[in-house]
Amino acid sequence: MNSKPSPSMIADKNTPASGFVFGRENYILMIAGIAVIFIGFALMIGGASKDPNVFNAEIFSTRRIVIAPIIVLLGFVIEVFAIFRKSKD
């Protein structure tokens, strides 16, 4: 006879009782991070020229090459924080 308990029978102290991997706060932070990433990508939109033979310097605006990438990186930082944050549940 095998006297070892199966892995499904062993209760992990770190697993929430509800069966979800993360707590409510973690999911809220993840949604906020996704929203911030989306806003960053939305800020990168635009700057196209109507005529492909004409150069449009608007593509190199500060909003598109500085602010938007910083906001996207901030969104990824929020995502990492949401994943590593230990829920209070």
User: What pTM was estimated for this model as a whole?
Assistant: 0.74
- What pLDDT is stored for residue 11 in this prediction? 55
Q: How many residues does the chain have?
A: 89
- What pLDDT is stored for residue 84 in this prediction? 94
Q: How many angstroms separate the CA atoms of 82 and 28, rounded?
A: 8
Whether 67 shows a pLDDT value over 90: the answer reads yes
Name which of 32, 41, 38, 34 is nearest 69 in CA terms: 41
Confidence band of 83 (pLDDT split at 50, 70, 90): very high
Rg for the chain, CA atoms, rounded: 22
Q: How many angstroms separate the CA atoms of 61 and 88, rounded?
A: 43
Residue-wise pLDDT for 11-46, tens only, equals 556 555 567 888 999 999 999 999 999 999 999 998
Total Cβ atoms within 10 A of residue 1 = 3
